[in-house]
Structure 1
Amino acid sequence: MDNHTIKTVFKEYIHPLDSKVIQKMINYAQIDKYVKKLDVLTFVNAFIYARLKQLDNLERISDTIERKKKTVQRLVGKESISKSQLSRKNGDILPEIFQDILHHLIQKLHHILGSKMADKAIGELHLIDSSTILMCLSQYEWADFRDTKSGVKMHTSIGT
């Protein structure tokens, strides 16, 4: 995808996300209570962009945001985000907030399309999870994960 296409697709992904409603959810859950640099909405924008560009790790996401000053920084809303910030924020956000956002989007879809068409569209939804299972390095040398840890990555896809 070229930059113009990325901008257009990115805006289409962000458009249904009503930032005021999501901000109320975030405020209620007090996720960003003491946050100074990386808030949840910026985090979500960064990961939507990363998904579009097929950036496969936190370092590539961070580097891309840092390098592409005019395009990505405007889309994401930050000049730079370190991989450690992304990692910490990912650990801080409870999965329930994403469940609430999904529920909000499903309600919005039902309102726009009607129940029958919305149910048909949602019926084609696939949920994907990627979890890392950490293991002892001395017992599982074959499972290289980091210099000091072993681990395996488990990908799960659930179709409805």
Structure 2
Amino acid sequence: MVRHASLFSQIVGFFDRNQFARLVSNHDAERNAKGFKCWDHFVSMLFCQIAQAKSLREISGGLASANGKLRHLGMKQPPSKSTLSYANQKRPWEMYRSLFYETLVKCQALAPTRHKFRFKNKLLSLDSSTISLCLGLFPWAKFRRTKGAVKLHLLLDHDGYLPSFVHITTGGTHDVTVARNLNIAPESIVAMDRAYNDYKLFCRWTEDHVHFVTRTKNNAAYRVVATRAAPKNRNIISDEEIEFTDKKSYEKCPHRLRKIVVFDKDNDRHIELLTNHMTFGATTVAAIYKDRWQIELFFKAIKQNLRIKTFVGTAENALMIQIWTALIAMLIIKFLQAKSKFGWSLSNLVAFLRWNLFTHRDLWAWIDQPYDVLPLEPMSVQLMLPFT
């Protein structure tokens, strides 16, 4: 007797069909649709991510091999390659972006966590990652003369390390261009790398009471206006308040900032940090910048465990759908990881899910005890193997 639907069916059940139907209606996503519904399309692309299907053929074939279990997914039959390809080209990718943000709100509500620091400020990390593309196959994503690329811009919330903002652009878009358009709540703290050095942005954030921690430019011209005592027996070399002396820099940011020099023992180097937060201890500021590494780990995890480096379609719309579906899948995987008592690494959880997608187990019992062997059900008829 089958007591539970497949693990994949229970994962798909995380999404509210009524909310999904509302998104379909809002984006008019099923206009001129003939049989292949948006729900079927979404389940197929989610299967592509979790099962790590490399092509339309593998998506179609993988679902077809589980044809008897598709009704639990809300599907009547697996899609053909041509049907799935057409949907990837024509269905609005914006619907998947909306689904991502609705899923994010649900994950934050069901698995609330706080960052590891004592302060109550919202802590965020801002960064981008380039996804290289073949210019011959993706001519719309021209990056350099012989290369194509898209850029994944991401604002990571350290409460649960979930992305709170995502923006996808072509590879030539500068990181600061995206940062200037962000609306960040006052008293938030944004950790970012040197690529986001923009004095006008620093000035606006300071006036809006948004704090930042980043690295200084190598050629920054400034004068020290005050020196703070560095904590003893720590890796803090100096703690100074500065003002820019270059005329253009000062006009862009006339505010007093803080420069902290930290010794990085692991790499035997000095790191110069720049911040507009004047009350935190220097060691706290250094720890905030160190925790920025979590956004690098997020990019590494999504590139290694999901399908955003190889694509099943070459159209811009198809690529956007695949990336947004990967982000949705990452939300679900990190949610399962947070709720589990087993202590999964993210890569192991993705691998075990891929191997057991159509296993009939209770999902919540499985993520806590994946190695448990269920007792065999009694059989009414003994099977006889013909040895003769």
Contact 2:12 2:73 in 1 (8 A): no
Question: Partner of 2:47 in structure 1?
Answer: 49
Q: Is there any run of 5+ residues in structure 2 with no aligned partner, and where?
A: 117-123, 138-145, 155-294, 299-388
The separation in 2 between residues aligned to 1:156 and 1:131, in whole angstroms, is 9
The separation in 2 between residues aligned to 1:131 and 1:81, in whole angstroms, is 29
The structure that is strand-richer by fraction is 2
Q: Deviations over 1:28-76 (max 9, x none)?
A: 2111122122111111111222333222100121122333321246436
1:22 aligns with 2:20: yes
The separation in 1 between residues aligned to 2:71 and 2:47, in whole angstroms, is 11
In the TM superposition, residue 87 of structure 1 has moved relative to its aligned partner by 0.8
Indicate the larger mover: 36-45 or 49-58: 49-58
Question: Partner of 2:108 in structure 1?
Answer: 110
Structural RMSD (CA):
3.7
Q: Is there any run of 5+ residues in structure 1 with no aligned partner, and where?
A: 1-5, 137-150
Residue correspondences, number: 135
The separation in 1 between residues aligned to 2:54 and 2:28, in whole angstroms, is 29
The separation in 1 between residues aligned to 2:129 and 2:72, in whole angstroms, is 28
Indicate the larger mover: 59-68 or 18-27: 59-68
Contact 2:133 2:149 in 1 (8 A): yes
The separation in 2 between residues aligned to 1:43 and 1:128, in whole angstroms, is 27
Contact 2:134 2:148 in 1 (8 A): yes
TM-score, normalized by length of structure 1? Answer: 0.64
Seq. identity, %: 15
Secondary structure of residue in 2 paired with 1:56: coil
Question: Partner of 2:136 in structure 1?
Answer: 135
Tell me: higher relative CO, structure 1 or 2? Use CA pairs within 8 A at least 6 residues apart: 2
- The verdict on how the C-alpha distance between 1:128 and 1:104 changes in structure 2, with shifts beyond 3 A counting, is farther
Question: Partner of 1:97 in structure 2?
Answer: 95
In the TM superposition, residue 98 of structure 1 has moved relative to its aligned partner by 1.1
The separation in 2 between residues aligned to 1:26 and 1:104, in whole angstroms, is 13
Question: Partner of 2:68 in structure 1?
Answer: 70
- The verdict on how the C-alpha distance between 1:73 and 1:28 changes in structure 2, with shifts beyond 3 A counting, is same
Question: Partner of 1:86 in structure 2?
Answer: 84
In the TM superposition, residue 110 of structure 1 has moved relative to its aligned partner by 3.0
Structure 1 or 2, whichever has the larger Rg, is 2
- The verdict on how the C-alpha distance between 1:27 and 1:68 changes in structure 2, with shifts beyond 3 A counting, is same
TM-score, normalized by length of structure 2? Answer: 0.29
1:34 aligns with 2:32: yes
The separation in 1 between residues aligned to 2:11 and 2:114, in whole angstroms, is 17
The structure that is helix-richer by fraction is 1
Question: Partner of 1:148 in structure 2?
Answer: none
